[in-house]
Structure 1
Amino acid sequence: MAWGKKHRLTDSGDGHVAKSTKVRDTSEEELEPRTAAEIYYEDGNLQRIKPYFHKFATYAKGRWVGRTIYEVFRSEFRDRTPAYYESAITQGIIELNNQKVELSTVVRNGDLVTHFIHRHEPPVTTQPLVVVRETDDGLLVIDKPGSIPVHPSGRYNYNSVIKILEKKHGYHSLFPINRLDRLTSGLMLVGLNPDVARRMERDLAAHRIQKEYICRVKGVFPSGRIVCDQPIRVVAHKLSLNCVDREEGKPC
């Protein structure tokens, strides 16, 4: 599919959206940068991504079916204002099945939903992602810094472990074996083929590989081993925040 127009929407935050349109013939492959030099730059101790055009595409989720396309975006994606989504649908920046639709168009099962945007990713640390070792059978050991998510997801794409290994280190067809949360740093195992990934996953499940987490704390922490056996409640999945909650928490 070729995109014949690039649209720009400026959201002032007060519900008003200024519109401008720049005509340009381009293919999907040309929408995003291809080399590390075109993607990454450093700003002090932060690694930033040069803004780029990107097309999000997903098939309709069950809870979207039967609702209008405008209602879906207004209620499901609250990082932008309703005025932005109204304008984006009207201009064809948001499409159903690669076609421009009305605000009142109802989403059906199997519909392809696309959103063409100028993407601005959050920054991460400039601390390098280090390849510690690569084995002959296709196992990669890396040292992942904190602040970098493993997979492209949400607002993160190029500032993810998978994309950094691809764009900066030249690896492709990666199979992460043990996942670390975005804010967690440490060693990660990544398979370069599905066979070694499955083998290492079996070893992890059988506890033949030992994992150890080291936590930095504030204040004077008690010495010796401490066991938490209290119910745990997830405060925020995206931030990996948990707390002890004796009323609503789940048993350890």
Structure 2
Amino acid sequence: MPSPLPVKNGVGPTRLRIPASGPWATIADYFVAKFDHLDSGDLYRRFDAGEIVDSDGRPIGRGTELGGSDPFVWYYRDLPAEDPVPFQEEILHADDDLVVIDKPHFLPTTPGGRYLRESALVRLRTRLDNPDLTPIHRLDRATAGLLMFSARPATRGAYQSLFEKRRVVKVYEAVSARPLEWDSDEPAIAGRAVPVLYRNHIAATRGTLRVVVDDAQEPNAETVIELKDSGISASGRAVLHTILRPHTGRKHQLRVHLAALGIGILGDSWYPDLLTEEPDDHSLPLQLLARELEFTDPLSGLPRKFITRRTLSEAPVTER
């Protein structure tokens, strides 16, 4: 749905669905009840100031009743103070249609939760002065590496269709703690000789942090796990360095698959176990990196390949 309000300081407006009926006399009353943690006087002031609009951009007054033909209102969120993410994205490619960046760990792809300005999208919109920038795919906040953005609406669908039709070859790297039973002469993961093809059924439930694995259903997620290296990291950990080639793109797929094979990714506080939320540990970011993106450009027909310049801090530096 197109927004009646423009992007402002890199952040787009918020859309809220208004119920057709209820115990509230007006839209403003519903707004105040929904956001009861905010100051009601300030919320009413925003209606009086014309800051809350309908889908045509017309201001909604304090006395506008529920039940109008337009079920949505639009507004700008008040931006809270944010702790800056102390790592910078790198622009690897930019043209009139496509922007590719190397995203650092800890930076979310899009605004959400406590991160608004401190997201790759808002940073790039501001940095490139382009409010039309939109991510073509996403990386978890904890994951570093290659991330693609559409630079203009006219060609956005062409690039989005690449991912929808699985015409993008994606390669990742991960570092895990090395299993105690590891045998360098006969490398195997969970008793399977490498490379390992792992498949299962992953389902994401709205409102939950983690995905659910359902072994009773047909697999819908598939990853090939290859061994890149094993040894000792700079911090002294015995580790496995793997190359991951996902054939599907389910939420948290790589994290779930490695955890299921007994080689959960170092720095992962969600899989295999959900740990208590703690402040970000910059000394041990999630050891997962989006390393390569390769595809045929839908506009020019030419092959394109992008490779990250980042590395994983816990990759082995010595053999043992």
Q: Tell whether the 8 Å contact from 1:144 to 1:188 is kept in structure 2 after alignment.
A: yes
In the alignment, does 2:211 pair up with 1:242? yes
What residue in structure 1 maps to residue 173 of structure 2?
A: 214
Matches within 5 A, 1:45-194: 58=15, 60-61=17-18, 64-67=19-22, 68=24, 69=27, 70-71=29-30, 74=33, 81=37, 84=38, 86-88=40-42, 91-93=44-46, 97-101=59-63, 106-110=66-70, 113=73, 118-120=78-80, 122-123=82-83, 125-135=85-95, 138-153=97-112, 155-194=114-153
Following superposition, the deviation at residue 210 of structure 1 comes to: 0.5
Unaligned runs of 5+ in 2: 54-58, 183-187, 221-320
Match of 2:201 among 217, 231, 237: 231
What is the percent sequence identity of the aligned residues?
19
Q: Tell whether the 8 Å contact from 1:152 to 1:162 is kept in structure 2 after alignment.
A: yes
* SS in structure 2 at match of 1:211: strand
Tell me the amino acid that sits aligned with residue 213 of structure 2. V
Pair 1:194–1:101, CA change in 2 (3 A): closer
Measured in 2, the distance between the counterparts of 1:114 and 1:172 equals 17
TM-score, normalising length: structure 1: 0.54
Measured in 1, the distance between the counterparts of 2:77 and 2:100 equals 35
What residue in structure 2 maps to residue 40 of structure 1?
A: none
Q: Tell whether the 8 Å contact from 2:9 to 2:126 is kept in structure 1 after alignment.
A: no
Q: Tell whether the 8 Å contact from 1:141 to 1:189 is kept in structure 2 after alignment.
A: yes
The structure richer in helix per residue is 1
Following superposition, the deviation at residue 71 of structure 1 comes to: 4.9
Tell me the amino acid that sits aligned with residue 45 of structure 2. G
Pair 1:85–1:218, CA change in 2 (3 A): farther
Matches within 5 A, 1:3-18: none
Which digits, 9 at most, give the CA deviation of each residue in 1:86-131, with x for residues without a partner? Answer: 5555x434567432249xx535331664667642154452211100
Tell me the amino acid that sits aligned with residue 232 of structure 1. I
Q: Tell whether the 8 Å contact from 2:32 to 2:40 is kept in structure 1 after alignment.
A: no
What residue in structure 2 maps to residue 14 of structure 1?
A: none
What residue in structure 2 maps to residue 18 of structure 1?
A: none
* SS in structure 1 at match of 2:102: strand
Unaligned runs of 5+ in 1: 1-27, 35-53
Pair 1:124–1:198, CA change in 2 (3 A): same
What residue in structure 2 maps to residue 38 of structure 1?
A: none
Aligned length: 191
Pair 1:199–1:106, CA change in 2 (3 A): closer
Q: Which has the higher contact order (CA 8 A, sep 6+)?
A: 2
Which digits, 9 at most, give the CA deviation of each residue in 1:123-144, with x for residues without a partner? Answer: 4522111001235x64322111
Q: Tell whether the 8 Å contact from 2:79 to 2:116 is kept in structure 1 after alignment.
A: no
Q: CA RMSD in A?
A: 4.2
* SS in structure 2 at match of 1:132: strand
Measured in 2, the distance between the counterparts of 1:187 and 1:201 equals 15
* SS in structure 1 at match of 2:126: helix
Q: Tell whether the 8 Å contact from 2:90 to 2:101 is kept in structure 1 after alignment.
A: yes
Measured in 1, the distance between the counterparts of 2:195 and 2:125 equals 40
Pair 1:173–1:215, CA change in 2 (3 A): same
What residue in structure 1 maps to residue 262 of structure 2?
A: none
Pair 1:74–1:166, CA change in 2 (3 A): same
